Amino acid sequence: MSSSSLSTINELLAGSVGGAAQVLVGQPLDTVKTRAQIAPKGMFKGPMDVLTQTIRNEGFFALYKGMASPLFGIAGVNSLLFASYAAARRAVSPFGQLSLPQTALAGSMAGAANAILASPVEMFKVRMQGQYGGANDQRLRVIVREMWTQWGFRQGIMRGYWVTVAREIPAYAGFYTAYEFSKRKFIARYGSQQQLPVWALLASGSTGGIAYWLACYPLDVIKSRVQLRPTPPTGSPLQYMAHEVRAILAESGFRGLFRGLTPSLLRSIPAAASTFAAFEMTRSWLVDVTGV
């Protein structure tokens, strides 16, 4: 097996471990974030009310509602993301370390590729999180079956794909740029990546996670609403995204485009930190084992 193929496998395996860590750490606040975005007007007073009502009415483990979709899908999603980013880095420049603008370009390319798997995983997660403990709540397998039988692959399973693409491109441009900027500052202090303490990787991941949401948040709100719709959106992607923006502004004003941002930022700190710490440590271990 060639060294490039073995390196790609290392990226895939390390990405899977990082993705699992992200879901386990970040799912509760992700549920709060999604419900803040999609709940009917007046149902909740704010993110803290989402949290308290969810626990009071449905129990603590309702915060992990919808976790099965990302937990089982995140291995593929993060594997694709990290492998795509490694490939994009080589495509942007074969000459070692990228500049920050080149990093942003590689990150946006990886984000566009990542949307292929991220879109269905997100769609099923959102539809699970949009259930509030009622008698008609459905299990994930029922939702998967209904989306497939009623709407098919493109309008069912892949609903919201183009909004996800639109979200992932700026999100991962910001994510990787902020992460690399922060990590390089720590490397300049400690001498090499191998000498970085774990807290430096956690801090760099947190910086990337915050940049991710700041770069794309209104698009995430639009994506969640499109994916939760009882029927597929009509018109071109630009048309139905514009329709959702008008609906959000009519319902909640400009602030509606940022509903749930606070739990997203709070979630990004431990979730992204754990993702990159797990990824970097797993990849370092695999490099030691495989020599690539």
The DSSP output letter for 99 is: P
Nearest in space to 147 (alpha carbons), one of 72, 51, 252, 231: 231
- Per-residue pLDDT averaged across 128-150, rounded? 91
**Is residue 209 a contact partner of residue 273, using CB atoms and an 8 Å limit?**
yes
The CA distance from 198 to 36, in Å, is 33
Q: Is the pLDDT of residue 68 over 80?
A: no
**Is residue 55 a contact partner of residue 63, using CB atoms and an 8 Å limit?**
yes
The CA distance from 84 to 90, in Å, is 10
Give the DSSP per-residue string, 9-71: HHHHHHHHHHHHHHHHHHHHHHHHHHHHHHSPTTS-SSHHHHHHHHHHHH-GGGGGTT-HHHH
* Structure-block tokens of residue 278: 């797990």
Nearest in space to 77 (alpha carbons), one of 124, 36, 38, 37: 124
- The pLDDT assigned to 1 comes to 61
**What pTM, to 2 d.p., does this model score?**
0.84
pLDDT class of 4 with cuts at 50, 70, 90: low
* Structure-block tokens of residue 135: 């008698």
Domains and CATH numbers, the chain: 3-290 (1.50.40.10)
In degrees and rounded to multiples of 5, residue 198 shows phi and psi of: -60, -35
**Is residue 52 a contact partner of residue 289, using CB atoms and an 8 Å limit?**
no
**Is residue 173 a contact partner of residue 111, using CB atoms and an 8 Å limit?**
yes
The CA distance from 210 to 272, in Å, is 8
Contacts of 157 (CB under 8 A, 6+ apart): 120, 123, 144, 147, 148
Q: Is the pLDDT of residue 223 over 90?
A: yes
Nearest in space to 154 (alpha carbons), one of 127, 116, 125, 190: 116
When the pLDDT of each residue in the chain is averaged and rounded to a whole number, the result is 89
* Total residues belonging to the chain: 292
pLDDT class of 215 with cuts at 50, 70, 90: very high
pLDDT class of 2 with cuts at 50, 70, 90: low
Question: Each residue of 38-51: pLDDT tens digit?
Answer: 988 888 988 899 99
Question: Each residue of 225-279: pLDDT tens digit?
Answer: 999 999 999 999 999 999 999 999 999 999 999 999 998 888 888 887 787 778 8
Question: Each residue of 83-137: pLDDT tens digit?
Answer: 899 889 989 988 878 999 999 999 999 999 999 999 998 999 999 999 988 888 8
